[in-house]
C-alpha cells in the first residue's frame, strides 16, 4: 500500500485511505500532496475508519467527496460538524437551517459515502480518542487535529465521551485506555485492576454507548495510559493476528448480568477454528429456549475477538450480524480456520 501511495497508483483509489500522523489529515492514495514518510502513515479500509481514528479530510484530494461536487450548503453542513463534533444536529436544527431532513440525509450519504449520523459519530469518537492515542502530544495540537476551534470545546467533547480526563481525579476509580492497531483496523482497550473491561473496534456503532455504560457502572474516569492488562491484551492480539496461538489471555473482567456472564463463558469454551449456533450456545448454558437472549448477550459483549462472539453463526451456517461488521466476522473465522489447520499439522 505504501508503494501504491508513493506511485500515486490510480488502481488503489477507493481501496484504501491513508492517515498522516504528523498532520492529523487523511488522504486518497493518489493525493498530489508531498508523500509522507512510511513511519508517519497508517492505512484505513474506509474513509469512515480514518475519521473515527481522529483524522480530518484533506482539502487537496478531498477523500470524502465523490467525483461530483457536493452543493455548497451540504459542504457547509459538514463544516459545521467538523467545527463542533460534540454538538448533535437534530432534524429541528436542520429545519432551522431551511434544510429538509430526509433529503439532506440522502444527499449527504450520496456525496460522502456514509450517513450524516455515521459521519458525526465518527468525528466525535475520533476527536475524543485522539487523547488516548497520543497522550504525549500537547493538548493544543490534539485540539487542532480534531478540528476544534477552542480548547474548552475539545475538552468538553472528550469529557462527554471519556469522563473527566483532568489530571486531578480524586476518589474516582480509573480505567486505563489504550489504542491498539490491528490488521482489521484500530481498537480501543480499557482495563482496571480487575482486568480487561473493553476491547472494541473504534468504528463500531455501539462504542459510544458501551463507553458510557462502562464508565457509569464503574463510576470511573477513562485515562489514556498503559496498564499490565492492556499490555497483555496487545500482545495477545499481536500473536493472534500473526497466526500464532496466543499463550495466555489477559485477565478478563467484562461487566454484565449473571446471564450475560454465563453466555460469555460459553463463548470462551468454543475452540479456535470451530463455530456454534445460537441454539447450541443456549443449550450449553442450560437455557435451550433462550436463543434470542443469548444472541442479545453476544451483541453486548464488549471484549471483541478474545471473547469470541464471532464464533456463533446462524443455524444455516450464515455469518449473521456482528457488531464490528460482518466482513470482520468472516475474516476472523477464515483466519482461525487457517490457524487451527496449521496447529493440527505441526
Ligand atoms: Zn490529500
CATH number of the structural domain spanning residue 295: 1.10.10.10
Please count the structural domains in the chain.
Answer: 2
Give catalytic status of residue 31 as yes or no: no
Nearest to 78 by CA among 32, 118, 50, 46: 118
Instruction: Find the 24 Cα to ligand 1 centroid distance in Å.
Output: 11
Q: Are 218 and 162 in contact (CB under 8 A)?
A: no
The per-residue pLDDT for range 175-233, each reduced to its tens digit, is: 888 888 888 888 889 999 899 999 998 888 788 888 888 888 887 777 777 789 999 99
- Rounded to the nearest whole angstrom, what is the distance from the C-alpha of residue 240 to the centroid of ligand 1? 33
Q: How many helices (H) and strands (E) does the chain have?
A: 14, 10
What distance in angstroms lies between residue 155's CA and the mean position of ligand 1's atoms?
A: 28
Q: How far apart are the first and last CA of the chain?
A: 32
Q: Active-site residue among 31, 61, 158, 309?
A: 309
Backbone angles phi, psi at 44, to 5 degrees: -135, 145
pLDDT for position 169: 44
Taking residues 121-147, report their average pLDDT: 67
Among residues 27, 31, 58, 158, the one annotated as catalytic is 27
Helix (H) or strand (E) holding 179: strand 173-180
Report how far ligand 1's centroid is from the alpha carbon of 35 (Å): 9
C-alpha cell at 317: 451456517
State the distance from the centre of ligand 1 to the C-alpha of 116, rounded, in angstroms.
22
Computed over every residue of the chain, the mean pLDDT equals: 84
Asked if 261 contacts 254 with a C-beta cutoff of 8 angstroms, the reply is yes
Residue finishing a domain among 162, 179, 200:
162
Q: Is residue 216 part of a domain?
A: no
Centre of ligand 1 from the C-alpha of residue 146, in Å = 17
For residue 204, the model assigns a pLDDT of 82
256 pLDDT band (50/70/90 cuts)?
Answer: very high
In angstroms, what is the span from residue 47 Cα to ligand 1's centroid?
A: 12
Instruction: Tell me which of 20-29, 130-139, 178-187 is least confident.
Output: 130-139
Final residue of a structural domain among 162, 185, 205: 162
| pLDDT of 241 | 94
User: Residues 11-18: what's their mean pLDDT?
Assistant: 82
- Please give the average per-residue pLDDT across 19-39, as a whole number: 92
Out of 25-39, 63-77, 174-188, 307-321, which region has the weakest mean confidence (pLDDT)?
A: 63-77
Percentage of the chain beyond pLDDT 90 is: 39
User: What does the pLDDT average to over 316-344?
Assistant: 86
Instruction: Tell which of 162, 185, 211 closes a domain.
Output: 162
Q: Which residue has the higher pLDDT, 142 or 275?
A: 275
Flag whether 111 is in a domain.
yes
**Is the pTM value of this prediction over 0.75?**
no
104, part of any domain: yes
Domain of 334? Answer: 258-344
Q: pLDDT tens, 88-121?
A: 888 999 999 888 898 888 888 877 777 888 888 8
Residue 203 domain flag: no
**Do residues 198 and 213 touch, judged by C-beta distance below 8 A?**
no
Ligand 1 centroid–CA 136 distance in Å is 26
Mean pLDDT of 58-83: 82
- The least confident of 10-24, 45-59, 105-119, 327-341 is 105-119
Higher pLDDT, 111 or 75: 75
Q: Is 309 a catalytic residue?
A: yes
Q: For 154-171, what is each residue's pLDDT tens digit?
A: 766 666 666 655 444 444
Whole-angstrom CA distances from 23 to 111, 112, 143 are 25, 22, 12
Amino acid at each position: 500500500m505504501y508503494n501504491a501511495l508513493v506511485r500515486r497508483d490510480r488502481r488503489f483509489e477507493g481501496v484504501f485511505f491513508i492517515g498522516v500522523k504528523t498532520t492529523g489529515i487523511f488522504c486518497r492514495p493518489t493525493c498530489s500532496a508531498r508523500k509522507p514518510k512510511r513511519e508517519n502513515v497508517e492505512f484505513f479500509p474506509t474513509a469512515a475508519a480514518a475519521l473515527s481514528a481522529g483524522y480530518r479530510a484533506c482539502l487537496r484530494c478531498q477523500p470524502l467527496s465523490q467525483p461530483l461536487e457536493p452543493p455548497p450548503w451540504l459542504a457547509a453542513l459538514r463544516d459545521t460538524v467538523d467545527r463542533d463534533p460534540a454538538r448533535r444536529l437534530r432534524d429541528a436544527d436542520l429545519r432551522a437551517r431551511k434544510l429538509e431532513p430526509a433529503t439532506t440525509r440522502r444527499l449527504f450519504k450520496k456525496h460522502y459515502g456514509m450517513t450524516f449520523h455515521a459521519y458525526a459519530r465518527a468525528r466525535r469518537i475520533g476527536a475524543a480518542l485522539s487523547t488516548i492515542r497520543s497522550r504525549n502530544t500537547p493538548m493544543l495540537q490534539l485540539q487542532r487535529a480534531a478540528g476544534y476551534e477552542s480548547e474548552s470545546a475539545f475538552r468538553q467533547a472528550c469529557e462527554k465521551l471519556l469522563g473527566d480526563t483532568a489530571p486531578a481525579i480524586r476518589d474516582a476509580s480509573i480505567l486505563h485506555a489504550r489504542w491498539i492497531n490491528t490488521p482489521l483496523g484500530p481498537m480501543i482497550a480499557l482495563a482496571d485492576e480487575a482486568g480487561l473491561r473493553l476491547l472494541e473496534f473504534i468504528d463500531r456503532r455501539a462504542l459510544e454507548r458501551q463507553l458510557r455504560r462502562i464508565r457509569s457502572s464503574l463510576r470511573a474516569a477513562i485515562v489514556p495510559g498503559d496498564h499490565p492488562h492492556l499490555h497483555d491484551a496487545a500482545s495477545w492480539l499481536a500473536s493472534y493476528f500473526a497466526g500464532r496461538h496466543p499463550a495466555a489471555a489477559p485477565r478478563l473482567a467484562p461487566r454484565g448480568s449473571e446471564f450475560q456472564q454465563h453466555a460469555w463463558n460459553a463463548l470462551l469454551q468454543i475452540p479456535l477454528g470451530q463455530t456454534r449456533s445460537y441454539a447450541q450456545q443456549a443449550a450449553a448454558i442450560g437455557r435451550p429456549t433462550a436463543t434470542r437472549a443469548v444472541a442479545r448477550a453476544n451483541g453486548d459483549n464488549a471484549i471483541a475477538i478474545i471473547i469470541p462472539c464471532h464464533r456463533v453463526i446462524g443455524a444455516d451456517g450464515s455469518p449473521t450480524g456482528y457488531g464490528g461488521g460482518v466482513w470482520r466476522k468472516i475474516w476472523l473465522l477464515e483466519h482461525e480456520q487457517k490457524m487451527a489447520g496449521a496447529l493440527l499439522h505441526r
